[in-house]
Amino acid sequence: MGWAVNKNDDTAIAASQTEALSRYFARAVQVGTAFAKFVATIAVTFLGLAALTFFIGRVVPIDPVLAMVGDRASNEVYEAAKIEMGLDRPIPLQFVSYIWDVLNGNFGLSISTRQPVIEDLIRVFPATLEMATLGIIIGIVIGVPMGVTAAAHRGSWLDQVIRTVGLLGYSIPAFWLGLVGLAIFYARLRWTGGPGRIDVFFDGMIPPVTGMLLIDTLIAGEIDVFWNAVSHLVLPATILGFFSLAYIARMTRSFMLDQLSQEYVTTARVKGVPEFFVIWRHAFKPIRIQLITVISLSYAGLLEGSVMIETIFSWPGIGNYLTTALLNADMNAVLGSTLVIGAVFIFINKFSDVMYRILDPRARS
């Protein structure tokens, strides 16, 4: 503000203060709008998801009333139940009241467990969350360095070994690995716990807070139970981790090969930068955003619940729950689980969007 110099000092200061203030205000409005947009897109996506699951639920040739009252009920009982369940009303109206119920945390009753679906979900989802999270951590911590190493030593024996491991991860069936794992590490060696989340002896000892046993046992201060839960979790989580590791390592390798042929990697070498930094600073940094997409998708896939692994390890997770619900025509449970899984996908997508902006300067502004 060159002109301000000629004026009275006070006016100049006041003017610059007003300007600074209005700039802060403009920035606040900007951030506020961005946040409102963010919330609005989530809300719209969620509404779309709810509509989709609701209408699919109405289209499938399953009669929820019949499933409720049984096929020997009289017509009067059937009609009464139908009215009680609100199914006599027009479908748009049913949808509105369904959304209202969902917003109030009411997903209806499950036919198979005879409990509110929301309570079932609060029980089963953390079990899957715990296993999937540990699995994806194993996948990232081992898979990413494996992929980078393979790319950096392209064509060497190390690369061959890593690619073979990746191929195994793709082609070995989950149930086979689960059974063999149980046979060796549980039945023979006794290194890990068996099926289930915890020994029967400890069942019901831990008050559920988060629903994740590793955390709840620590909150309760029960170290023995904690280690018992770990011993049960380690095998299924490692197997899940192995599958995501195979995928992550393979993708990392191909992203890195692409990066290592870029001009700016040569620039780094010209500068005399040590090879370790050439790889991790110059080649790896730009692929982080691509990796986040890969990892997010694979994590979301794990959170959907691996039915095979959950069945073999008698894991009371959402994959198991959803499968049972489907087989029993338990529509409330199916819709509830679908909504939860959909919400997981929406959340993870939004999370990776945010990470994009943090990690890539080109995505900002």
Partner 1 sequence: MSNLLDIDNLTVTFPTNNGPIDVVKGISLSLGRERLGIVGESGSGKSMTGRAILKLIRSPGRVKADRLSFDGIDLLTRRERDMRAIRGARISMVMQDPKFSLNPVMSVGDQIAEAIKTHQRLSPSQVRAKTLAMLKSVRIEDPERVLGLYPHEVSGGMGQRIMIAMMLVPEPDLLIADEPTSALDVSVQAQVLDIIDNLVTSKGMGLILISHDLNLVASYCDRILVMRAGEIVEECAANKLHAAQHPYTKGLLASMPRIDEDREWLPVFERTSGSQT
Give the C-alpha distances (Å, rounded to integers) separating 64 from 76, 331, 340: 16, 7, 21
Position among 266, 314, 357, 358 found at the interface with partner 1 (CB under 8 A): 266
Q: Which residues, 6 or more positions from 284, have their beta carbon under 8 angstroms from its beta carbon?
A: 148, 256, 259
Cα separation of the two ends of the chain = 26
Rounded CA-CA distance 297/352 in Å is 10
Rounded CA-CA distance 228/311 in Å is 20
Q: Which x/- pattern, by CB under 8 A, does the window 282-301 give for partner 1?
A: x--xx---------------
In the bound complex, what is the minimum distance in angstroms from residue 149's beta carbon to partner 1? 17
Position among 271, 280, 314, 357 found at the interface with partner 1 (CB under 8 A): 271
Of 117-125, 159-167, 311-319, 353-361, which part binds partner 1 (CB under 8 A)?
Answer: 353-361
Q: Any contact of residue 267 with partner 1 (CB under 8 A)?
A: yes
Of 29-37, 48-56, 280-288, 291-299, which part binds partner 1 (CB under 8 A)?
Answer: 280-288
In the bound complex, what is the minimum distance in angstroms from residue 152's beta carbon to partner 1? 12
Residue 43: count of CB within 10 angstroms of its CB: 10
Position among 1, 270, 276, 327 found at the interface with partner 1 (CB under 8 A): 270
Q: Any contact of residue 357 with partner 1 (CB under 8 A)?
A: no
Q: Any contact of residue 2 with partner 1 (CB under 8 A)?
A: no
In the bound complex, what is the minimum distance in angstroms from residue 285's beta carbon to partner 1? 5
Q: Any contact of residue 273 with partner 1 (CB under 8 A)?
A: yes
Q: Any contact of residue 27 with partner 1 (CB under 8 A)?
A: no
Q: Residue 129's closest CA among 243, 214, 249, 224?
A: 214
Diameter of the chain measured on Cα atoms: 96
Residue 178: burial class (beta carbons within 10 Å; 0-12, 13-18, 19+): buried
Could you list the residues that contact partner 1 (CB under 8 A)? 262-264, 266-275, 281-282, 285-286, 359-362
